[in-house]
Amino acid sequence: MDDRTGTTLHTGLLISTTALMAWLSGLPLLFPSLGPSAFVLALFQDSEATAPRRVIGGHAIGVAAGLLAYHLLGVTTSITAGADPGSLEALLLGASGVAATMLTAGGMLATDTRHPPACATTLIVSLGLLSSPLEGALIVATVVVLVVAHQLLLATERIGARYGERLRS
């Protein structure tokens, strides 16, 4: 199979896993930063960029940084609610996003868990889209499911390649 087709299908299968879980549970298990994570996993497959420690660790740092910034700054709104121009509420929301992104970048660099999509996760949390501790835990759990699904897909592909060669012989 062409690499482009395989990467496209792999990405779709990964996102389908979390979309199905979201649909069946009614929980927010499908969020914007999963798309780039799924694409990175599918595109680079077995590289250091897709190491579970990096993917899960990066998102976990993003969630922690987002929760910390949002709650320490006392933000009480969400980016979707809108705030009056020049208001303290809008300033706090923007400051939360900036602080969370900086904490995430620094945290990932300090722990060698660089995963760029985690910067989107931290914005999702710090801008009030999924900003409760329970929602943060759901984000990390969903990323774990995505990584496990990726590992299962890789194992299935390897088994298929191994037995496919035997059948052709």
Task: Give the pLDDT confidence of 63-82 residue by residue, as tens digits.
Answer: 999 999 999 999 988 999 87
CA distances to 29, 94, 95, 123, 166 from 68, in Å: 21, 14, 12, 12, 54
Residue 169 in any domain: the answer is no
Structural domain of 105: 3-162
Residue 168 lies in a domain: no
Q: Tell me the whole-structure pTM to 2 decimals.
A: 0.91
Give a yes or no: residue 9 inside a domain. Answer: yes
pLDDT in tens, 87-143: 999 999 999 999 999 999 999 999 999 999 999 999 999 999 999 999 999 999 999
29 token code pair = 């298990």
For the chain, the domain total comes to: 1
CA contacts within 13 A on the Cβ side of 30: 14
Q: Is the torsion defined by CA of 7, 11, 17, 23 positive or negative? A: negative
